[in-house]
Amino acid sequence: MTALPPGSTIGILGGGQLGRMLAMAAAQLGYRCHIYAPAGDNVACEVAAACTVAEYHDLDALMNFAGSCDVITFEFENVPVEPLKSIFGRVPIYPPITALEVAQDRVAEKEFVRKLGGETAAFAVARSEIEVEGAVSAVGTPAILKTIRMGYDGKGQVRVSAHSELASAWRRAGGQPLIAEAMVRFDAEFSVILVRGTDGEIRYWDSTRNVHEDGILATCCLPAGPLIESQQVAARKMAGDVADELEYVGVFTAEFFASAEGPLFNEIAPRVHNSGHWTIEGAETSQFENHIRAICGLPLGSTATIADRVEMQNLIGDDGERWAQLFSDPAANVHLYGKAEARTGRKIGHVTRLYR
């Protein structure tokens, strides 16, 4: 791929905070960004050169958008795949559409990883309400039921501890096809974030220890501790194998459980990731800049960590009301996303602190 020169236009599907930070990184490298997203609180549009507000299935609008871009990427994995096939070939799309197809289906995702030798929790599929009991019986209780499609930050998930809870599980999960996963014993959660260039080169950032609260990522810390560090090499190989198999271009994330038996794959995210926000200040090249570099055919930047210790904290819901206190802290690198409403469970910013 010939590198796109500065001044070229990058199309970003999705208007949230990840798109916002991608657009900011692109601007620093001299690129313009065109955001495409349905109506909503599209904070990415505030920092982009252009914005199209339309549904993803509006093929006329999508065609016009593609015609204005030199390359297209996306900021979240639930962009509908079928409309994208109408613009495939008109303009490069990175990461590839195949990565979206795999990530959008939890069954396909786990089978894809298992095919490459990755370890996952035991799982079974329930495509109708009457299949729920059989699926849970196959994996045992306690179990977690997840919608096969969609779902993030704990949404679309129901935990069941006994068969007596199954009667309402289908309804509580939204009445759609589910995957039942065995609950696994683990000591920590971590993610492998890598960037893969158009030439197949892969670079990895250090893995953080990730702590979730109510299904939402709350904090990320480096160093991640001996257990995660001892499993990082194996997890990187697994993530790298998936990225190679997909012929991936851009930033790719694989989430893992650190267990006594080794790293256990949880899920992938074919995009920049919340657990990589620390890289803006904490790494020589952020995940956002390296994603732009990769999809534009530029050389990848160093992913080395530049501090002895890094802590990233998500600001969720009314956490943003502490903005005055946060801005008065000289150690706090504060990022607010400009969202109009601070709802419960909604990420409205993050804070990163470096310790040398």
The pLDDT tens digits for 206-240 are 999 999 998 899 999 999 999 999 999 999 999 99
Residue 156 has pLDDT above 80, yes or no: no
pLDDT one-digit tens code per residue, 13-28: 999 999 999 999 999 9
- The pLDDT mean for the chain works out to 93
Query: What average pLDDT does this structure show over 292-318?
Result: 97
CA 21 to chain centroid, in Å, comes to 13
Rounded to the nearest angstrom, the gap between the alpha carbon of residue 133 and the centroid of all alpha carbons in its chain is 31
Domain covering 122-182 in this structure, CATH number: 3.30.1490.20
Q: What pLDDT is stored for residue 160 in this prediction?
A: 80
Q: Where are the domains of the chain?
A: 9-93, 122-182, 188-355
What is the structure's pLDDT at 307? Answer: 98
36 in Cβ contact with 22 (< 8 Å)? no
Residue 255 is predicted with a pLDDT of 96
Q: What is the pLDDT of residue 341?
A: 86
Asked: is 188-355 a CATH 2.60.40.420 domain? The reply is no
Q: What is the pLDDT of residues 81-91, one digit of tens each?
A: 999 999 998 99
Q: What pLDDT, on the 0 to 100 scale, is given for residue 164? A: 65
Tokens of 61: 């609008």
Beta bridge partners of 258: 188, 263
- Listed as own residue / partner, the contacts of 246-249 with beta carbons closer than 8 Å and 24 or more positions apart are 246/95, 246/96, 246/98, 246/99, 246/102, 246/270, 247/96, 247/98, 248/95, 248/96, 248/99, 248/196, 249/94, 249/95, 249/96, 249/196, 249/197, 249/198, 249/294, 249/295
Return the structure tokens found at 350: 């993050």
pLDDT at res. 172: 77
The CATH label, of 3.30.1060.10, 1.10.150.20, 3.40.50.20, 3.40.50.2300, for the domain at 9-93 is 3.40.50.20
Cβ(136)–Cβ(163) under 8 Å? yes
pLDDT of residue 243: 98
| pLDDT given for residue 153 in this prediction | 53
What distance in Å separates the CA atoms of residue 275 and residue 279, rounded to the nearest whole number? 9
Share of the chain above pLDDT 70, in %: 97
Given the DSSP bridges, would you call strands 32-37 and 50-53 parallel, antiparallel or unpaired? parallel
The average pLDDT across 159-171 equals 73
Q: What is the pLDDT of residue 331?
A: 95
Task: Please check the confidence at residue 146 and state whether its pLDDT lies above 70.
Answer: yes
Asked whether 242 and 197 are in contact (CB, 8 A), the reply is: no
CA distance 260 to 283: 29
Which of 165-174, 250-259, 320-329 bottoms out in mean pLDDT, i.e. has the lowest?
A: 165-174
